[in-house]
């Protein structure tokens, strides 16, 4: 009995030793796993149990100055297949056949990409809502764990072609490729963040991980909203007018810029032909580029406004100074002649500007010198970037002062042999409209953060004064006469005072460095109302083929139509009412009205209170010649009202602001 009890006790002790040893081994192994191999095993387990999910914040909006959407985004889905989890050949073909009708991609294309293997195959970007719903239904019915959908940005341009050359477009991976989408990409671009979610052995997401992901929709740190200075309604008006100009003149292209000269905000900027950024791949780069900032061209006579300002500022001319125009001159063996090939004879500087007389401007350029011409051109912003927020801006081209010949001075004086951008010219004209002060143009008004707080606000930025206030007022008066009685009359708007300058430049032959026969660029640049400028308008018609090609004939009326519609859109009061009986406001008693006019005679009207344009029209109907002194409204005249005069009589009318 004792022996039996001993044997049992021995066996129990042996068993206990074995158990203790086993526990010791387990403990040691547990310690190794928990302490020594803890980090390695944890990482290995997580790698096997988690999948990577891409979270994308939406791209920031682009708005017009009134908050109208120009570019918006939504978070779309990217369909992804994990080839290493699809299975055998039969399963590959089945999956490809089921995805094909949903995404509109051939089944064989999908199958071939899956066969290439790997862990990531992006099947289709920017899934529409019906495609997303169909894929979710397929996953629910078939239980596919090898397919899923990642977030990505889907960009929309709700107004199609409106302001397309300004806004631009984006490509894959939320990357801006043109326009403001490109230049402001780092500001409006959405953030991308990758998240890991836990899955079970079948690759199915664990619920806690799903809930954690869905409850924290990623907002991003960028995706800022950009508000432009552009007014969408004004932009639409301008683009409609340009569409008509394309039909009427059949040119290669048309470009227009509308600026506020008081703060250099771009209110409208348009080109034709253009494109639809929602379908940008259907268009050429020629359609997509923004000609207003990237094209350079010889400005022609529009540049004479700058030359006139420089000559007045330096005191080398005065409005009534007389020159003799021979119709044609030779400068360093280069012929300079007038646009009509004729001589104007003895003319004042006022006439020279009004009639855009090439020979006299060439003479004035020689007096001014090439160094001063270049200096004023640079002061007005030519030959360098304006610094606007748009990409692709060209600096233009000016002469090197120390290399200028007399012929270079002469051609530069009439706007030839130099190259400018449309934006540079509009900015320079804005300086004239802004009392001689040059401002930096801008197209971005403000930028706000994703949470609505202010990031940056753009405002009026003064660059430099280019003309004294007195000189500028004189120049404005001359430019008003260009529209009132000179070559820019087709830019007139009834009831408003408009100033500006026309231009007609031959196109450069890029192959021969000369000019192309019968090929022109017609332009007009001006501002209104003269007494309180609120709009600067530039119109450029490149290579018109419908007959007329002079700026005064085809560009001026387009600018006049833009002025007419925008002045009324902005509810700007007329400069003067042409239907008001001005005799009601006369300060002195006029002579008795002549009731019987002798045959072949005319009666001098009372012109006080009328604008230059109205005086010109009234006297032109009577065959009476007009000499203009000053600018503004008529305050006196050299021949008293109601005087009987011969047709062709010359009268000087004095105007004051």
SS3 track for 493-549: ECCECCEEEEEEEEEECCCCCCEEEEEEEEEEEEEECCCCCCEEEEEEEECCCCCCC
The pLDDT assigned to 304 comes to 97
Q: Rounded to an integer, what distance in angstroms lies between the CA atom of residue 243 and that of residue 226?
A: 28
Burial class for 469, CB neighbours closer than 10 Å (0-12, 13-18, 19+): exposed
* Residue 53 confidence (pLDDT) above 60: no
> Number of H helices and number of E strands within the chain?
21, 27
Of residues 278 and 582, the one with the higher pLDDT is: 278
Among 72, 69, 71, smallest CA distance to 179 is for 71
Q: Would you say the C-alpha torsion 174, 178, 181, 185 has a positive or negative sign?
A: positive
Q: Do the beta carbons of residue 496 and residue 570 sit within 8 Å? A: no
Residue pLDDT, tens place only, 233-267: 999 999 999 999 999 999 999 999 999 999 999 99
Q: Do the beta carbons of residue 119 and residue 80 sit within 8 Å? A: no
* Residue 132 confidence (pLDDT) above 90: no
Of residues 96 and 377, the one with the higher pLDDT is: 377
* Residue 153 confidence (pLDDT) above 90: no
What b-and-e string marks burial along 511-523, b requiring 16 or more CB atoms within 10 Å of the CB?
Answer: eeeeeeeebbbbb
Among 239, 254, 264, smallest CA distance to 535 is for 264
Residue 2: C-alpha distances to residues 5, 7, 10, 16, 256 (Å): 5, 9, 12, 21, 118
Element (H, E) at 272: strand 265-272
Q: Count of residues for the chain?
A: 657
Q: What share of the chain has pLDDT > 90, as a percent? A: 54
Q: Rounded to an integer, what distance in angstroms lies between the CA atom of residue 344 and that of residue 487?
A: 14
Of residues 173 and 440, the one with the higher pLDDT is: 440
- Residue 639: which pLDDT band, with cuts at 50, 70 and 90? confident
The highest-confidence range among 202-206, 456-460, 633-637, by mean pLDDT, is 456-460
Residue pLDDT, tens place only, 454-495: 999 999 999 999 999 999 999 999 999 999 999 999 999 999
Q: What is the DSSP letter of 67?
A: S
Q: Do the beta carbons of residue 651 and residue 604 sit within 8 Å? A: yes
Q: Rounded to an integer, what distance in angstroms lies between the CA atom of residue 637 and that of residue 650?
A: 11
- Residue 523: which pLDDT band, with cuts at 50, 70 and 90? very high
Q: Rounded to an integer, what distance in angstroms lies between the CA atom of residue 512 and that of residue 45?
A: 72
Q: Rounded to an integer, what distance in angstroms lies between the CA atom of residue 508 and that of residue 502?
A: 19
Burial class for 655, CB neighbours closer than 10 Å (0-12, 13-18, 19+): buried
* Residue 437 confidence (pLDDT) above 90: yes
Contacts of 329 (CB under 8 A, 6+ apart): 335, 336, 337, 359, 362, 363
- Residue 513: which pLDDT band, with cuts at 50, 70 and 90? low
Across all residues in the chain, what is the average pLDDT?
Answer: 86
Helix residue ranges per DSSP H, 143-218 = 164-167, 179-183, 185-188, 207-214
Residue pLDDT, tens place only, 215-241: 344 444 568 999 999 999 999 999 999
Q: Rounded to two decimals, what is the model's pTM?
A: 0.78
The pLDDT assigned to 577 comes to 44
- Bridge partners, 63 (sequence order): 69, 227
The pLDDT assigned to 239 comes to 97
The pLDDT assigned to 220 comes to 47
- Residue 198: which pLDDT band, with cuts at 50, 70 and 90? low
- Residue 59: which pLDDT band, with cuts at 50, 70 and 90? confident
Lowest mean pLDDT among 137-146, 398-407, 494-503: 137-146
Q: What is the mean pLDDT of residues 172-181?
A: 90
Complete DSSP assignment for 216-251: S----S---EEEES--HHHHHHHHHHHHHHHHHH--
- Residue 428: which pLDDT band, with cuts at 50, 70 and 90? very high
- Bridge partners, 335 (sequence order): 330
The pLDDT assigned to 228 comes to 98
* Residue 52 confidence (pLDDT) above 60: no
* Residue 554 confidence (pLDDT) above 50: yes
- Rounded to the nearest 10 degrees, the angle between the axes of helix 612-622 and helix 469-485 is 40
**Other Cβ atoms within 10 Å of 626 Cβ, number:** 19
- Residue 84: which pLDDT band, with cuts at 50, 70 and 90? confident
- Residue 576: which pLDDT band, with cuts at 50, 70 and 90? low
Residue pLDDT, tens place only, 12-22: 777 777 877 77
Q: What is the mean pLDDT of residues 331-359?
A: 90
- Residue 381: which pLDDT band, with cuts at 50, 70 and 90? very high
- Residue 656: which pLDDT band, with cuts at 50, 70 and 90? confident
Helix residue ranges per DSSP H, 105-174 = 107-115, 129-142, 164-167
Q: Do the beta carbons of residue 184 and residue 407 sit within 8 Å? A: no
Q: What is the mean pLDDT of residues 432-448?
A: 97
The pLDDT assigned to 526 comes to 98
* Residue 496 confidence (pLDDT) above 60: yes
The pLDDT assigned to 51 comes to 52
Q: Do the beta carbons of residue 274 and residue 284 sit within 8 Å? A: no
* Residue 586 confidence (pLDDT) above 50: no
Q: Would you say the C-alpha torsion 135, 137, 139, 142 has a positive or negative sign?
A: negative
Of residues 56 and 120, the one with the higher pLDDT is: 120
* Residue 194 confidence (pLDDT) above 70: no
Contacts of 250 (CB under 8 A, 6+ apart): 544, 545, 546
The pLDDT assigned to 594 comes to 43
């Amino acid at each position: 009995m004792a022996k039996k009890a001993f044997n049992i006790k021995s066996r129990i002790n042996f068993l206990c030793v074995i158990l203790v040893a086993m526990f010791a081994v387990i403990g040691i192994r547990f310690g190794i796993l928990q302490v020594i191999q803890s980090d390695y095993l944890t990482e290995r387990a997580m790698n096997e149990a988690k999948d990577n999910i891409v979270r994308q914040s939406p791209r920031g909006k682009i708005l017009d100055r009134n908050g109208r959407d120009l570019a918006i985004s939504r978070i779309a889905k990217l369909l992804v297949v994990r080839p290493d989890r699809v299975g055998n050949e039969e399963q590959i073909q089945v999956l490809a056949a089921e995805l094909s009708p949903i995404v509109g991609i051939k089944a064989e294309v999908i199958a071939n990409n899956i066969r290439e293997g790997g862990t990531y195959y992006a099947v289709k970007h920017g899934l529409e809502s019906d495609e997303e719903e169909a894929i979710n239904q397929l996953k629910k019915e078939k239980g596919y764990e090898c397919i899923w959908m990642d977030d990505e940005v889907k960009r929309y341009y709700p107004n199609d072609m409106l302001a397309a050359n300004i806004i631009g477009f984006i490509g894959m991976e939320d990357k801006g490729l043109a326009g403001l989408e490109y230049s402001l990409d780092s500001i409006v671009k959405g953030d991308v963040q990758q998240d890991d979610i836990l899955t079970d052995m079948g690759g199915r997401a664990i619920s806690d991980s799903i809930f954690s992901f869905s409850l924290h929709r990623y907002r991003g740190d960028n995706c800022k909203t950009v508000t432009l200075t552009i007014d969408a309604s004004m932009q639409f008006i301008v683009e409609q007018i340009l569409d008509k100009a394309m039909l009427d003149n059949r040119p290669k292209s048309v470009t227009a810029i509308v600026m506020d000269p008081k703060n250099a905000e771009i209110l409208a900027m348009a080109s034709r032909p253009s494109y639809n950024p929602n379908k940008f791949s259907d268009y050429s780069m020629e359609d997509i580029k923004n000609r207003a900032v990237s094209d350079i061209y010889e400005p022609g006579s529009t540049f004479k406004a700058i030359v006139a300002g420089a000559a007045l500022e330096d005191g080398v001319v005065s409005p009534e100074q007389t020159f003799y125009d021979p119709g044609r001159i030779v400068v360093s063996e280069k012929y300079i002649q007038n646009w009509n090939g004729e001589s104007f004879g003895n003319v004042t500087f006022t006439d020279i500007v009004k009639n855009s007389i090439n020979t006299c401007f060439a003479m004035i350029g020689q007096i001014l010198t090439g160094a001063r011409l270049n200096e004023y051109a640079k002061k007005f912003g030519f030959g360098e970037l304006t610094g606007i927020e748009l990409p692709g801006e060209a600096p233009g081209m000016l002469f090197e002062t120390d290399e200028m010949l007399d012929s270079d001075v002469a051609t530069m004086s009439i706007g030839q042999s130099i190259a400018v951008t449309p934006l540079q010219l509009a900015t320079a004209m804005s300086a004239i409209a802004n009392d001689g002060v040059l401002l930096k143009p801008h197209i971005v008004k403000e930028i706000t953060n994703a949470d609505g707080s202010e990031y940056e606000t753009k405002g009026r930025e003064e660059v430099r004064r280019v003309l004294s206030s007195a000189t500028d007022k004189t120049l404005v008066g001359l430019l008003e006469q260009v529209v009132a009685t000179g070559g820019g009359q087709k830019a007139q708007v009834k009831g408003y005072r408009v100033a500006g300058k026309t231009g007609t430049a031959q196109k450069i032959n890029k192959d021969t460095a000369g000019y192309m026969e019968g090929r022109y660029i017609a332009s007009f640049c001006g501002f209104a109302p003269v007494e309180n400028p609120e709009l600067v308008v530039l119109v450029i018609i490149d290579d018109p083929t419908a007959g007329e090609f002079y700026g005064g004939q085809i560009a001026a009326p387009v600018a006049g139509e833009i002025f007419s519609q925008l002045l009324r859109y902005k509810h700007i009061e007329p400069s003067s009412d042409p239907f008001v009986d001005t005799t009601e406001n006369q300060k002195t008693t006029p002579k008795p009205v002549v009731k019987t006019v002798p045959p072949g005679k005319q009666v001098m009207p009372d012109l006080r209170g009328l604008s230059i344009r109205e005086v010109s029209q009234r006297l032109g109907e009577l065959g009476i010649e007009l000499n203009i002194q000053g600018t503004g409204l008529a305050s006196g005249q050299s021949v008293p009202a109601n005087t009987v005069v011969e047709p062709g009589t010359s009268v000087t009318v004095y105007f004051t602001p």
